[in-house]
Amino acid sequence: MALIPNARQQQIVRWLQETPTLSIEHLVERLGVSTMTVHRDLDALENAGLVDKVHGGVTRAGHRKRIFASTSACAICDEPVLARTLVTVQTSTGDVMQACCAHCGILLLNDCQNIVAALVKDFIYGRMVNIFQASFIVGSDITLCCTPNVIVFASKNDADRFNIGFGGIVYDFAEMQRYVTDFHRPAFSTSR
């Protein structure tokens, strides 16, 4: 019994988390569908930014090439800042800081004062959006950067649609900020 397109696409993404590259031939065999069906699934996944199609196969998104937003490192975790998951925070004093992902971006916002602007890359369209108006998904099947894994969307509708296919929990900014803060709150023992 063949899987429906959404289930096939989810399976391809899961396999790519285990193996960075898969051949079209291998996918045809494992999924039990035609070459054209595999190409249509890969086109949909590539358009969503989840994979990179290569000659004769597919790789994880960004595995083939990593495009850096700048030469700077994340202000929180010191990892390189990728253009795909960039967060930029500007203060009233003119300081501009970057974070590698929304998770680190929210931690950066918690540490900053006098914020003038905070922008984050939308996962689907790659546009910079106001982080305070964005929607977020935590814990989806897609892992991009830090833990907890946070993916950003310009609209709740986009986040909800992504959530149907790849899981996770949808949050608005205030909920996301509480989640990240709670995630990093130390667990103190109350026993004596």
CA atoms within 13 A on the CB side of 124: 16
Q: What angle do CA 104, 74, 51 make, to 5 degrees?
A: 75
Q: Which residue has the higher pLDDT, 12 or 65?
A: 12
Q: What pTM was computed for the model?
A: 0.61
How would you label 132-149 residue by residue, b for 16+ Cβ within 10 Å and e otherwise?
eebbbbbbbebebbbeeb
Short-list 49, 27, 47, CA closest to 37: 27
Class of domain 5-60: mainly alpha
CA atoms within 13 A on the CB side of 144: 26
Lowest mean pLDDT among 68-77, 88-97, 117-126, 134-143: 68-77
Q: How many angstroms separate the Cα of 99 from the Cα of each of 80, 146, 185?
A: 9, 11, 20
Instruction: Kindly report the number of other CB atoms within 10 A of residue 152's CB atom.
Output: 25
Instruction: Kindly report the number of other CB atoms within 10 A of residue 171's CB atom.
Output: 20
With contact defined as beta carbons under 8 Å apart, do 100 and 146 qualify?
yes
Local structure of 184: helix, strand or coil: helix
Q: Which residue has the higher pLDDT, 83 or 38?
A: 38
Residue whose tokens read 């399976």:
11
Q: Token pair of 192, please?
A: 């004596």
Per-domain boundaries in the chain:
5-60, 68-184
Note the pLDDT tens digit of each residue in 49-58.
888 887 778 8
Give the pLDDT band (50/70/90) at residue 192. Answer: very low
**Percentage of the residues of the chain whose pLDDT score is greater than 90:** 39
